[in-house]
Amino acid sequence: MTELAGRRVIVGICGGIAAYKAVEICRRLVDAGAHVVPVMTKAADHFIGRTTVSALASEAVRTSMWEGDDPIPHTKLGQTADLIVVVPATARLIGAYAHGLSTDLLTNVLIATRAPVIVCPAMHTEMWEHPAVQDNIALLKSRGTRIVEPEEGRLAGGDTGKGRLASPDAIMDEIVDVLAGAVEASRDLKGCRVIVTAGGTREPIDAVRVVTNRSSGKQGHAVAEEAARRGASVVLITTTDRAVPAGIDVVRVETARDMHEAVRSIWPHSDVLVMAAAVADFRPIRSESGKIKKDSGVPEVRLEPTADILAEAGSTKRKDQVLVGFAAETADLVENARTKLVKKNLDLVVANDVAQPGVGFDHDTNAVTFVRSADDLESMPLSDKRDVARRLLDIVVEVRESRS
Protein backbone atom coordinates (compact mmCIF):
# COMPACT_ATOMS: atom_id res chain seq x y z
CA MET A 1 0.00 0.00 0.00
CA THR A 2 2.57 2.53 -1.08
CA GLU A 3 -0.25 5.04 -1.71
CA LEU A 4 -0.67 5.39 2.07
CA ALA A 5 2.94 6.09 3.00
CA GLY A 6 3.26 9.56 4.45
CA ARG A 7 -0.41 10.44 3.88
CA ARG A 8 -2.34 12.24 6.60
CA VAL A 9 -5.63 10.45 7.22
CA ILE A 10 -8.34 11.56 9.63
CA VAL A 11 -10.39 8.66 10.97
CA GLY A 12 -13.77 9.87 12.23
CA ILE A 13 -15.49 7.53 14.67
CA CYS A 14 -19.20 7.84 15.51
CA GLY A 15 -21.25 6.31 18.29
CA GLY A 16 -22.34 2.90 17.06
CA ILE A 17 -21.68 -0.71 18.03
CA ALA A 18 -19.37 -1.03 15.01
CA ALA A 19 -17.01 1.60 16.48
CA TYR A 20 -14.68 -1.15 17.66
CA LYS A 21 -13.89 -1.96 14.02
CA ALA A 22 -12.40 1.52 13.59
CA VAL A 23 -9.49 0.33 15.72
CA GLU A 24 -8.56 -2.18 13.03
CA ILE A 25 -8.72 0.53 10.37
CA CYS A 26 -6.41 2.76 12.42
CA ARG A 27 -3.96 -0.10 12.91
CA ARG A 28 -3.87 -1.01 9.22
CA LEU A 29 -3.39 2.60 8.16
CA VAL A 30 -0.50 3.12 10.56
CA ASP A 31 1.10 -0.16 9.50
CA ALA A 32 0.93 1.06 5.88
CA GLY A 33 2.81 4.25 6.78
CA ALA A 34 -0.07 6.71 7.08
CA HIS A 35 -0.24 9.38 9.77
CA VAL A 36 -3.59 8.75 11.45
CA VAL A 37 -5.48 11.45 13.33
CA PRO A 38 -8.52 10.04 15.16
CA VAL A 39 -11.55 12.25 15.77
CA MET A 40 -14.33 10.77 17.90
CA THR A 41 -17.80 12.03 18.65
CA LYS A 42 -18.95 12.13 22.28
CA ALA A 43 -21.33 9.27 21.55
CA ALA A 44 -18.40 7.12 20.38
CA ASP A 45 -17.08 7.27 23.97
CA HIS A 46 -19.93 4.96 24.96
CA PHE A 47 -18.68 2.22 22.64
CA ILE A 48 -14.88 2.42 22.53
CA GLY A 49 -12.16 3.75 24.78
CA ARG A 50 -10.06 6.74 23.77
CA THR A 51 -6.93 5.11 25.19
CA THR A 52 -7.22 2.17 22.78
CA VAL A 53 -7.68 4.40 19.75
CA SER A 54 -4.93 6.83 20.76
CA ALA A 55 -2.50 3.97 21.30
CA LEU A 56 -3.02 2.56 17.80
CA ALA A 57 -3.28 5.88 15.92
CA SER A 58 -0.49 8.39 15.30
CA GLU A 59 -1.94 11.05 17.60
CA ALA A 60 -4.19 11.23 20.63
CA VAL A 61 -7.93 11.24 20.01
CA ARG A 62 -9.61 14.61 19.39
CA THR A 63 -13.21 14.98 20.54
CA SER A 64 -13.99 18.66 21.09
CA MET A 65 -13.67 22.06 19.46
CA TRP A 66 -12.59 23.43 22.81
CA GLU A 67 -9.79 21.15 24.03
CA GLY A 68 -6.16 22.21 23.67
CA ASP A 69 -4.76 25.62 22.73
CA ASP A 70 -5.78 25.66 19.06
CA PRO A 71 -8.71 28.09 18.62
CA ILE A 72 -9.66 26.64 15.21
CA PRO A 73 -8.83 22.92 15.32
CA HIS A 74 -11.42 22.00 12.68
CA THR A 75 -9.87 24.31 10.08
CA LYS A 76 -6.34 23.05 10.64
CA LEU A 77 -7.42 19.41 10.61
CA GLY A 78 -9.52 19.87 7.47
CA GLN A 79 -6.84 21.77 5.56
CA THR A 80 -3.99 19.36 6.36
CA ALA A 81 -5.83 16.10 5.67
CA ASP A 82 -5.13 14.04 2.57
CA LEU A 83 -8.22 11.97 3.26
CA ILE A 84 -11.03 11.70 5.80
CA VAL A 85 -12.75 8.37 6.45
CA VAL A 86 -15.74 8.13 8.81
CA VAL A 87 -16.06 4.63 10.23
CA PRO A 88 -18.69 3.91 11.37
CA ALA A 89 -20.96 6.72 10.17
CA THR A 90 -24.31 7.00 11.93
CA ALA A 91 -27.55 8.34 10.48
CA ARG A 92 -27.07 11.49 12.57
CA LEU A 93 -23.59 12.15 11.19
CA ILE A 94 -24.72 11.48 7.61
CA GLY A 95 -27.64 13.87 7.96
CA ALA A 96 -25.55 16.61 9.58
CA TYR A 97 -22.80 16.34 6.96
CA ALA A 98 -25.26 16.28 4.05
CA HIS A 99 -26.95 19.46 5.25
CA GLY A 100 -23.90 21.36 6.48
CA LEU A 101 -24.72 21.20 10.20
CA SER A 102 -21.54 21.73 12.22
CA THR A 103 -22.71 20.10 15.45
CA ASP A 104 -19.36 18.87 16.81
CA LEU A 105 -15.67 18.65 15.96
CA LEU A 106 -16.08 15.86 13.40
CA THR A 107 -18.82 17.59 11.40
CA ASN A 108 -16.86 20.86 11.54
CA VAL A 109 -13.81 19.09 10.12
CA LEU A 110 -15.88 17.49 7.33
CA ILE A 111 -17.33 20.85 6.32
CA ALA A 112 -13.96 22.60 6.56
CA THR A 113 -12.02 20.20 4.32
CA ARG A 114 -11.46 19.92 0.58
CA ALA A 115 -9.83 16.51 0.94
CA PRO A 116 -11.61 13.39 -0.37
CA VAL A 117 -14.13 11.97 2.11
CA ILE A 118 -15.16 8.34 2.53
CA VAL A 119 -18.26 7.59 4.58
CA CYS A 120 -18.86 4.06 5.89
CA PRO A 121 -22.42 3.81 7.23
CA ALA A 122 -23.47 1.30 9.88
CA MET A 123 -26.96 1.12 11.36
CA HIS A 124 -30.01 -1.10 11.63
CA THR A 125 -31.73 -2.11 8.38
CA GLU A 126 -34.83 -0.01 9.01
CA MET A 127 -32.67 3.06 9.60
CA TRP A 128 -30.50 2.44 6.53
CA GLU A 129 -33.57 2.03 4.31
CA HIS A 130 -35.37 5.10 5.66
CA PRO A 131 -36.04 7.59 2.81
CA ALA A 132 -34.35 10.45 4.70
CA VAL A 133 -31.14 8.46 5.10
CA GLN A 134 -31.19 7.35 1.47
CA ASP A 135 -31.80 10.93 0.31
CA ASN A 136 -28.84 12.11 2.38
CA ILE A 137 -26.63 9.36 0.96
CA ALA A 138 -27.65 10.33 -2.58
CA LEU A 139 -26.89 13.98 -1.84
CA LEU A 140 -23.43 13.15 -0.53
CA LYS A 141 -22.73 10.96 -3.56
CA SER A 142 -23.75 13.80 -5.87
CA ARG A 143 -21.07 15.96 -4.23
CA GLY A 144 -18.35 13.38 -4.74
CA THR A 145 -18.33 11.72 -1.31
CA ARG A 146 -17.38 8.07 -1.55
CA ILE A 147 -19.81 5.73 0.22
CA VAL A 148 -18.77 2.24 1.33
CA GLU A 149 -22.22 0.75 1.66
CA PRO A 150 -23.07 -1.51 4.60
CA GLU A 151 -23.22 -5.24 4.16
CA GLU A 152 -25.89 -7.86 4.69
CA GLY A 153 -25.43 -9.88 7.84
CA ARG A 154 -26.14 -10.33 11.51
CA LEU A 155 -26.90 -7.06 13.28
CA ALA A 156 -26.48 -5.96 16.88
CA GLY A 157 -30.09 -6.78 17.77
CA GLY A 158 -29.66 -10.40 16.72
CA ASP A 159 -31.61 -10.16 13.47
CA THR A 160 -30.12 -10.04 10.00
CA GLY A 161 -30.29 -7.54 7.15
CA LYS A 162 -28.37 -4.79 5.40
CA GLY A 163 -26.72 -2.35 7.76
CA ARG A 164 -23.62 -3.90 9.27
CA LEU A 165 -20.39 -2.02 8.67
CA ALA A 166 -18.46 -3.05 5.57
CA SER A 167 -15.48 -5.30 6.21
CA PRO A 168 -12.08 -3.76 7.01
CA ASP A 169 -10.82 -5.17 3.71
CA ALA A 170 -13.54 -3.35 1.74
CA ILE A 171 -12.90 -0.09 3.60
CA MET A 172 -9.14 -0.30 3.10
CA ASP A 173 -9.61 -1.07 -0.60
CA GLU A 174 -11.68 2.12 -0.94
CA ILE A 175 -9.08 4.16 0.92
CA VAL A 176 -6.28 2.88 -1.29
CA ASP A 177 -8.39 3.45 -4.42
CA VAL A 178 -9.11 7.07 -3.50
CA LEU A 179 -5.52 7.89 -2.60
CA ALA A 180 -4.14 6.00 -5.60
CA GLY A 181 -6.46 7.98 -7.84
CA ALA A 182 -5.27 11.21 -6.27
CA VAL A 183 -1.64 10.23 -6.80
CA GLU A 184 -2.21 9.02 -10.35
CA ALA A 185 -4.22 12.02 -11.38
CA SER A 186 -2.00 14.44 -9.49
CA ARG A 187 -2.78 17.77 -11.11
CA ASP A 188 -2.38 16.66 -14.72
CA LEU A 189 -5.00 19.13 -15.95
CA LYS A 190 -3.63 22.11 -14.06
CA GLY A 191 -3.96 25.25 -16.18
CA CYS A 192 -6.32 23.51 -18.61
CA ARG A 193 -9.64 25.21 -19.40
CA VAL A 194 -12.38 22.57 -19.60
CA ILE A 195 -16.04 22.89 -20.61
CA VAL A 196 -18.42 20.08 -19.66
CA THR A 197 -22.08 19.96 -20.68
CA ALA A 198 -24.57 17.88 -18.71
CA GLY A 199 -28.23 16.93 -18.55
CA GLY A 200 -31.07 16.76 -21.04
CA THR A 201 -32.39 19.91 -22.68
CA ARG A 202 -36.08 20.79 -22.41
CA GLU A 203 -37.80 22.23 -25.48
CA PRO A 204 -41.14 23.92 -24.67
CA ILE A 205 -44.38 22.93 -26.37
CA ASP A 206 -46.39 25.35 -24.27
CA ALA A 207 -46.13 26.98 -20.84
CA VAL A 208 -46.11 23.63 -19.01
CA ARG A 209 -45.14 20.88 -21.49
CA VAL A 210 -41.72 20.12 -22.95
CA VAL A 211 -39.91 17.74 -25.29
CA THR A 212 -37.07 16.20 -23.31
CA ASN A 213 -35.24 12.94 -22.49
CA ARG A 214 -34.26 10.86 -19.47
CA SER A 215 -30.75 12.25 -18.95
CA SER A 216 -30.00 12.96 -15.28
CA GLY A 217 -26.73 14.80 -15.86
CA LYS A 218 -24.86 12.45 -13.50
CA GLN A 219 -22.15 11.52 -16.01
CA GLY A 220 -21.45 15.11 -17.03
CA HIS A 221 -21.32 16.27 -13.43
CA ALA A 222 -18.92 13.43 -12.59
CA VAL A 223 -16.61 14.54 -15.44
CA ALA A 224 -16.71 18.16 -14.28
CA GLU A 225 -15.90 17.23 -10.68
CA GLU A 226 -13.03 14.94 -11.74
CA ALA A 227 -11.59 17.61 -14.05
CA ALA A 228 -11.65 20.16 -11.22
CA ARG A 229 -9.99 17.68 -8.86
CA ARG A 230 -7.20 17.26 -11.40
CA GLY A 231 -6.50 20.98 -11.46
CA ALA A 232 -8.54 22.17 -14.44
CA SER A 233 -10.46 25.41 -14.60
CA VAL A 234 -13.95 24.04 -15.22
CA VAL A 235 -17.13 25.54 -16.63
CA LEU A 236 -20.12 23.22 -16.24
CA ILE A 237 -23.05 24.01 -18.55
CA THR A 238 -25.94 22.03 -17.13
CA THR A 239 -29.70 21.71 -17.36
CA THR A 240 -29.95 20.11 -13.91
CA ASP A 241 -30.18 21.53 -10.41
CA ARG A 242 -27.72 19.01 -9.02
CA ALA A 243 -25.33 20.24 -6.32
CA VAL A 244 -21.91 21.29 -7.63
CA PRO A 245 -18.72 21.46 -5.52
CA ALA A 246 -17.05 24.80 -4.93
CA GLY A 247 -14.49 25.77 -7.54
CA ILE A 248 -16.57 24.87 -10.60
CA ASP A 249 -18.19 27.69 -12.57
CA VAL A 250 -21.79 26.74 -13.34
CA VAL A 251 -23.96 27.96 -16.22
CA ARG A 252 -27.58 26.82 -15.84
CA VAL A 253 -29.46 26.40 -19.11
CA GLU A 254 -32.71 24.81 -20.23
CA THR A 255 -33.02 24.57 -24.01
CA ALA A 256 -30.72 23.47 -26.81
CA ARG A 257 -30.56 27.09 -27.92
CA ASP A 258 -29.40 28.15 -24.43
CA MET A 259 -26.70 25.48 -24.43
CA HIS A 260 -25.63 26.35 -27.97
CA GLU A 261 -25.12 29.99 -27.04
CA ALA A 262 -23.21 29.12 -23.87
CA VAL A 263 -20.84 26.70 -25.63
CA ARG A 264 -20.33 29.04 -28.58
CA SER A 265 -19.26 31.90 -26.29
CA ILE A 266 -16.80 29.84 -24.20
CA TRP A 267 -15.36 27.22 -26.61
CA PRO A 268 -12.97 29.56 -28.48
CA HIS A 269 -11.20 30.35 -25.21
CA SER A 270 -11.07 26.78 -23.88
CA ASP A 271 -8.79 23.76 -24.26
CA VAL A 272 -11.22 20.84 -23.84
CA LEU A 273 -14.94 20.40 -24.46
CA VAL A 274 -16.74 17.29 -23.15
CA MET A 275 -20.26 17.24 -24.59
CA ALA A 276 -21.91 14.83 -22.14
CA ALA A 277 -25.30 16.56 -22.35
CA ALA A 278 -28.20 14.90 -24.13
CA VAL A 279 -29.17 17.77 -26.41
CA ALA A 280 -32.55 17.51 -28.11
CA ASP A 281 -32.23 16.89 -31.86
CA PHE A 282 -35.59 18.54 -32.50
CA ARG A 283 -37.72 21.27 -30.95
CA PRO A 284 -41.26 22.53 -31.59
CA ILE A 285 -41.35 25.17 -34.32
CA ARG A 286 -43.85 27.11 -32.29
CA SER A 287 -44.26 27.23 -28.51
CA GLU A 288 -47.52 28.47 -27.05
CA SER A 289 -47.15 31.14 -24.37
CA GLY A 290 -49.99 29.66 -22.33
CA LYS A 291 -51.14 26.13 -21.54
CA ILE A 292 -52.84 24.24 -24.38
CA LYS A 293 -56.16 23.11 -22.95
CA LYS A 294 -57.21 19.49 -23.35
CA ASP A 295 -60.71 20.43 -24.52
CA SER A 296 -59.15 22.37 -27.43
CA GLY A 297 -58.44 19.09 -29.19
CA VAL A 298 -55.18 17.29 -29.92
CA PRO A 299 -52.57 19.91 -30.87
CA GLU A 300 -50.40 19.51 -33.93
CA VAL A 301 -46.79 19.82 -32.81
CA ARG A 302 -44.44 20.41 -35.72
CA LEU A 303 -40.73 20.00 -35.07
CA GLU A 304 -37.56 21.52 -36.49
CA PRO A 305 -33.91 20.47 -35.98
CA THR A 306 -31.84 22.14 -33.28
CA ALA A 307 -28.30 23.37 -33.87
CA ASP A 308 -25.66 20.62 -33.91
CA ILE A 309 -23.46 22.03 -31.14
CA LEU A 310 -20.89 19.25 -31.39
CA ALA A 311 -20.50 19.52 -35.17
CA GLU A 312 -20.09 23.28 -34.96
CA ALA A 313 -17.46 22.94 -32.25
CA GLY A 314 -15.64 20.38 -34.41
CA SER A 315 -15.70 22.67 -37.44
CA THR A 316 -13.99 25.47 -35.48
CA LYS A 317 -11.66 23.28 -33.41
CA ARG A 318 -8.00 24.29 -33.29
CA LYS A 319 -5.21 21.72 -33.33
CA ASP A 320 -4.50 22.36 -29.66
CA GLN A 321 -8.11 21.76 -28.59
CA VAL A 322 -9.63 18.42 -27.57
CA LEU A 323 -13.25 17.64 -28.35
CA VAL A 324 -15.16 14.74 -26.76
CA GLY A 325 -18.62 13.61 -27.79
CA PHE A 326 -21.04 11.05 -26.39
CA ALA A 327 -23.12 8.58 -28.40
CA ALA A 328 -26.14 7.09 -26.61
CA GLU A 329 -27.27 4.26 -28.88
CA THR A 330 -29.64 1.30 -28.85
CA ALA A 331 -28.09 -0.51 -31.85
CA ASP A 332 -24.90 -0.53 -33.95
CA LEU A 333 -22.98 1.09 -31.10
CA VAL A 334 -19.43 1.09 -32.47
CA GLU A 335 -20.41 1.80 -36.08
CA ASN A 336 -22.44 4.85 -35.08
CA ALA A 337 -19.67 6.08 -32.80
CA ARG A 338 -17.07 5.76 -35.56
CA THR A 339 -19.29 7.73 -37.91
CA LYS A 340 -19.79 10.50 -35.36
CA LEU A 341 -16.04 10.64 -34.64
CA VAL A 342 -15.17 11.34 -38.28
CA LYS A 343 -18.19 13.36 -39.32
CA LYS A 344 -17.90 15.83 -36.44
CA ASN A 345 -14.10 16.02 -36.21
CA LEU A 346 -13.90 14.63 -32.68
CA ASP A 347 -10.92 13.34 -30.74
CA LEU A 348 -12.93 10.85 -28.70
CA VAL A 349 -16.44 9.40 -28.65
CA VAL A 350 -17.81 7.82 -25.48
CA ALA A 351 -20.44 5.36 -26.70
CA ASN A 352 -22.97 3.55 -24.55
CA ASP A 353 -25.85 1.21 -25.26
CA VAL A 354 -28.64 2.76 -23.20
CA ALA A 355 -30.90 -0.24 -23.84
CA GLN A 356 -28.75 -2.28 -21.46
CA PRO A 357 -29.68 -2.53 -17.74
CA GLY A 358 -27.86 -0.03 -15.51
CA VAL A 359 -26.32 1.83 -18.45
CA GLY A 360 -26.54 5.54 -19.15
CA PHE A 361 -29.61 7.66 -18.46
CA ASP A 362 -30.62 8.15 -14.82
CA HIS A 363 -28.25 5.48 -13.44
CA ASP A 364 -25.24 5.84 -11.16
CA THR A 365 -23.43 3.39 -13.43
CA ASN A 366 -22.39 3.26 -17.06
CA ALA A 367 -20.79 0.82 -19.48
CA VAL A 368 -19.00 2.51 -22.37
CA THR A 369 -16.75 2.05 -25.35
CA PHE A 370 -14.12 4.72 -25.90
CA VAL A 371 -13.60 5.26 -29.63
CA ARG A 372 -10.50 7.24 -30.66
CA SER A 373 -10.23 5.98 -34.23
CA ALA A 374 -11.66 3.25 -36.41
CA ASP A 375 -9.32 0.71 -34.81
CA ASP A 376 -8.65 2.28 -31.39
CA LEU A 377 -11.44 0.96 -29.20
CA GLU A 378 -11.48 0.47 -25.44
CA SER A 379 -14.42 -1.10 -23.65
CA MET A 380 -15.20 -0.37 -20.00
CA PRO A 381 -17.65 -2.73 -18.25
CA LEU A 382 -20.47 -1.54 -16.00
CA SER A 383 -18.80 0.90 -13.59
CA ASP A 384 -19.55 3.83 -11.38
CA LYS A 385 -19.87 7.00 -13.47
CA ARG A 386 -17.01 8.54 -11.49
CA ASP A 387 -14.73 5.76 -12.70
CA VAL A 388 -15.88 6.40 -16.28
CA ALA A 389 -15.07 10.09 -15.79
CA ARG A 390 -11.56 9.25 -14.57
CA ARG A 391 -10.78 7.07 -17.57
CA LEU A 392 -12.29 9.61 -19.97
CA LEU A 393 -10.01 12.33 -18.62
CA ASP A 394 -7.02 9.96 -18.65
CA ILE A 395 -7.56 9.70 -22.41
CA VAL A 396 -7.95 13.48 -22.73
CA VAL A 397 -4.58 13.89 -21.00
CA GLU A 398 -3.04 11.30 -23.33
CA VAL A 399 -4.35 13.17 -26.39
CA ARG A 400 -3.01 16.49 -25.10
CA GLU A 401 0.40 15.01 -24.30
CA SER A 402 0.64 13.42 -27.75
CA ARG A 403 0.42 16.91 -29.26
CA SER A 404 2.91 18.64 -27.00
Sign of the dihedral defined by the CA atoms of residues 161, 167, 171, 176, in that order:
negative
How is 176-208 classified by DSSP, letter by letter?
A: HHHHHHHHHHTTTTTT-EEEEEESB--EESSSS
Residue 135 CB: number of other CB atoms within 10 A? 12
Chain centroid to Cα 165, Å, comes to 22
Report the run of H or E that residue 253 belongs to, with start and end. none
Task: Name the active-site residue from 108, 136, 213, 366.
Answer: 213
Q: Which bin fits 332, alpha (ψ -120 to 50), beta or left (φ > 0)?
A: left
Using CB atoms within 10 A of its CB, is residue 255 exposed (0-12), middle (13-18) or buried (19+)? buried
Question: Helix 105-112 and helix 91-98: axis angle, to 10°?
Answer: 40
- Report how far residue 148's alpha carbon sits from residue 318's, in angstroms, rounded to the nearest whole number: 42
The three-point CA angle 72-231-121 to 5° equals 55
Rounded to whole angstroms, how far apart are CA atoms 387 and 33? 26
* Measured distance CA(192)–CA(234) in Å, rounded: 8
Angle at CA of residue 287, ends 284 and 288, nearest 5°: 145
Amino acid at 48: I
345 is annotated as an active-site residue: no
CA dihedral 27, 31, 35, 38 (to 10 degrees): 0
Tally Cβ neighbours within 10 Å of residue 66.
Answer: 9
Residues in the chain: 404
Pairwise CA distance, residues 65 & 72, whole Å: 7
Q: What amino acid positions are annotated as catalytic residues?
A: 213
